[in-house]
Amino acid sequence: MDTEFVKNIQYLANQIIADGYKSICFWMPCFNVSGGARYFRDLAVKISNHTDLKVYYVDFANGFPSSLLSENDKVEIIEFNADDLEFPIKEPTIICTNSTKVIQLKNMNPLSKLLFWHFETIPCAWDWLFFNHEERKFIRLTKNKHAMIYHDWSGRDILSKQFNIKLDNRDYLQVYSMVKSDSAKRKVYNSNEINLVWLSRLGSEKICSLYNIIDNFAKYKTNRIKRLHIVGDGIRRDAVELYCKKYKEQIEFIFLGTIDYDKLADYLLTNADIVFAMGTSVIESAALKIPSVVVQLSSSRFTDDAYYWLFDAKEYCVGITTEEKQRYNVPYRTMENLLNAIDNEEKSAIISDKCNKYFIENHSNFNSIVEKFLKFAKNTELSFNDLKKVIVYTPYNIIQQTDYCIKGIQLYSRIKFGDKVYIKLLGIPIKTYKLNNEMTHYTKWGVFRSKPIIKKFINTKYKSPDNQSSSEHTIKIGKLKLIKIVKNKKLTKYFLFNKIHVLTKRENIGYNFPQSLFRG
């Protein structure tokens, strides 16, 4: 163990304790395999093993983070239950969580401090997260209180552009991987084939990147066998398999699903000529001395033939959106350029070494990351009491709220929180009363709030873009189509005369991003 490192983090931990905080709590409940959860686990173990800080981890019963913690770890797990109102730790503590999980936070000691890690590359659905448009105030609060850090340039940029708030603090807690000792097992170069690996989850927010890779790989002219290994699983796997069928004459596809972490290195070393990925995945590839390419992300199909080598990255950036490309000034390469750069063993070795060198210099020193984290934890000034002034109802995700609006103007609002109901007329509180303690769901009505998404398919059932079951039917008087109703899990939209959007009903229990509950 690096004694200088231990000395440094003990000094930082003692400063935190002197400020009145004897513990740190990592908050990342999830069931799915999550790089963020694994990252928090590693921080938690390191801090608990080498400092006097008590370390907690909030997780679901039998969640993924809990499975990573061994009986020998000093980290104490706190079970997350969405309906609980109170956080069980009563003394002031420092909570570290993902920025979008702010709605999960329970009532706690008002002096407890908060540190948010924004590790999203794509724009987040903040309007789904917050019902009463608190998101902009929340972002400003975290900025002013030094309570928001980022995984790379893209996280900071996308948050800044989404809210038009200048976020110029380069407080990065970058992704990392351990240095690999088994890169010597790398597959022997084969001049008769190209083995390209996609290494990422097959979620709705990522598959358009994979489609783009498939399109451009299919166009690449070569006499070599083109093979694409798809490592990862997710709710859109069926859609990806269907998409691949139209290219089966040009590309050989191999679907591997999720490979256990302890077996992943062997697979990549024996099968990959080049890896296309984002986030922690592209770092893992570079750690193995494999040519590693960072891809663009988009929630919709795109045709741009542009990627960048990991060694060309700036500010730890391991993924950008198509919209960010113009702002992120690095050398972009076409698929042809990338594959030609590794078309013999000598050239491939040069690219491999460049990717690995960048990894070693920027993403391999976890000890320095732990030190950075403790400095961020010490420096945040955001208390739970400060947060409550912006987000009045905590935990936010148990509110049941019904709003009636015309063109965005709230006429009437009924809010149920815990065992109380609050009534507002034109935003003015007019009544408060108690109920039995039942917590159900959020319901919101709006008039002229958005354009209709579905205009056809009368009396049919189908799958919406997010794979939720949806339906549509029409109420008629004679031949006159009086009202059309379009409904899925969250939204019901009413159209007068089949096309005039007059009413929207939205139902939601708070909102947790899909990966929090996804078990695939």
Q: Are residues 121 and 136 in the same domain?
A: yes
Amino acid (1-letter code) at residue 309: W
Q: Are residues 78 and 221 in the same domain?
A: no
Give the pLDDT score at 519: 37
Look at residue 466 and tell me if it is in a domain: yes
Largest CA distance in the chain: 84
**Domain of residue 219, CATH code:** 3.40.50.2000
**Domain of residue 130, CATH code:** 3.40.50
Is the pTM value of this prediction over 0.75? yes
pLDDT at 517 over 70: no
Q: Are residues 384 and 512 in the same domain?
A: no
Non-local CB neighbours of 315 within 8 Å, separated by 6+ positions: 152, 153, 170, 172
Look at residue 235 and tell me if it is in a domain: yes
* 227-258 pLDDT tens trace: 999 999 989 999 999 999 999 999 999 999 98
Q: Are residues 285 and 241 in the same domain?
A: yes
Q: Are residues 360 and 274 in the same domain?
A: yes
3-state secondary structure of 447: strand
d(CA 218, CA 27): 42
H-only helix segments in 96-236: 126-129, 135-144, 153-163, 207-219
Q: Are residues 377 and 406 in the same domain?
A: no
d(CA 357, CA 363): 10
Q: Are residues 26 and 93 in the same domain?
A: yes
d(CA 69, CA 76): 9
Average pLDDT over residues 424-429: 85
Give the closest residue to 275 by CA, choosing from 264, 254, 290, 296.
290
Look at residue 324 and tell me if it is in a domain: yes
* 137-173 pLDDT tens trace: 999 999 999 999 999 999 999 999 999 999 999 999 9
Question: Given 3-state DSSP classes, what are the helix, strand and coil percentages for the chain, each rounded to the nearest 5?
Answer: 30, 25, 40
User: Can you say whether residue 418 is alpha, beta or left, with left for phi > 0 and alpha for psi between -120 and 50 degrees?
Assistant: left
User: In 10 A of CB 81, how many CB atoms?
Assistant: 11
Q: Are residues 161 and 194 in the same domain?
A: no
Q: Are residues 88 and 224 in the same domain?
A: no
Give the pLDDT score at 446: 45
Average pLDDT over residues 378-395: 94
* 289-338 pLDDT tens trace: 999 999 999 989 999 999 999 999 999 999 999 999 999 999 999 999 99
Overall size of the chain counted in residues: 520
CB-hemisphere CA count at 13 Å for 350?
Answer: 8
Give the pLDDT score at 438: 47
Q: Are residues 155 and 9 in the same domain?
A: yes
Q: Are residues 353 and 375 in the same domain?
A: no
pLDDT category at 288 given cuts 50, 70, 90 is very high
Q: Are residues 61 and 95 in the same domain?
A: yes
d(CA 466, CA 472): 16
**Mean pLDDT for the chain overall:** 86
Look at residue 395 and tell me if it is in a domain: no
Look at residue 300 and tell me if it is in a domain: yes
For the ranges 94-103, 116-125, 127-136, 144-153, the lowest mean pLDDT is seen at 127-136
Domain span at 57 = 3-176+369-390
Look at residue 354 and tell me if it is in a domain: yes
Domain count within the chain: 3
Written as six digits, the tokens of 437 are 């303690």
Q: What is the dihedral of CA 177, 182, 188, 191, to 10 degrees?
A: 10
pLDDT at 460 over 60: no
